[in-house]
Amino acid sequence: MRIGQLAQLTGADIQTIRFYERQRLLPRPNRQANGYRVYETDHVEKVIFIRRCRSFGMSLEEIAVLQSFQAQPQQPCAAVNALLDSHIARVRTQIASLQVLENQLVRLRRCCDNERQSVDCGILSGLVEGGTTSANAGNPSFLPSM
């Protein structure tokens, strides 16, 4: 099959498939005499695997490690478990950070009602005031608690 067919079967963009090839997550396909790439069923399975891992937020490096375990099935899966445990820990950290961000945004939203003009907007004022010092740059925790 050609790259367009692979893309259609897997739901991946053609450029994404080429990117996976460059990153060596996907083996380079054989080429026909005319230069066209020829993909096999194995490529479909690998692209689906990569996309599934990406849907879980896994990095390309993590995917490469998992693929190495697929290629050597006699290895114990303890390292796979450790990789997933590490990924879960990062996801939990991200969730905690997003919850902090959500709380800060909610507090910022409470700084203004719909009855003001933008010149008096508490949200815009809060964003400007928070960016005036380097200590607050990128950290909206200066917002008043409500």
Give 108's pLDDT tier (boundaries 50, 70, 90): confident
User: pLDDT for 30-83, tens place per residue?
Assistant: 999 998 889 999 999 999 999 999 999 999 999 999 999 999 989 999 999 999
Pick from 8-12, 90-94, 132-136: least confident: 132-136
Give 119's pLDDT tier (boundaries 50, 70, 90): confident
Give 123's pLDDT tier (boundaries 50, 70, 90): confident
Cα first-last separation, the chain = 60
Do 41 and 80 have their domain in common? no
User: pLDDT for 125-141, tens place per residue?
Assistant: 888 876 443 344 445 55
Output the furthest CA–CA distance in the chain (Å, rounded).
Answer: 70
Do 38 and 80 have their domain in common? no
Percent of the chain with pLDDT over 90: 66
Residue 121 maps to a domain: yes
**What's the chain's Rg over C-alpha atoms?**
24
Burial of 39-50, coded b for 16+ CB within 10 Å and e otherwise, reads beeebbebbebb
Do 30 and 3 have their domain in common? yes
**pLDDT of 139:** 53
Do 81 and 139 have their domain in common? yes
**pLDDT of 136:** 45
Asked if 31 and 2 touch (Cβ cutoff 8 Å), the reply is no
Give how many domains the chain has, as a whole number.
Answer: 2
Residue 30 maps to a domain: yes
Residue 70 maps to a domain: no
Higher pLDDT, 110 or 11: 11
Range(s) of the domain holding residue 142: 76-146
Asked if 110 and 85 touch (Cβ cutoff 8 Å), the reply is no
CA distances from 24 to 32, 50, 65, 74 (A): 20, 12, 12, 22
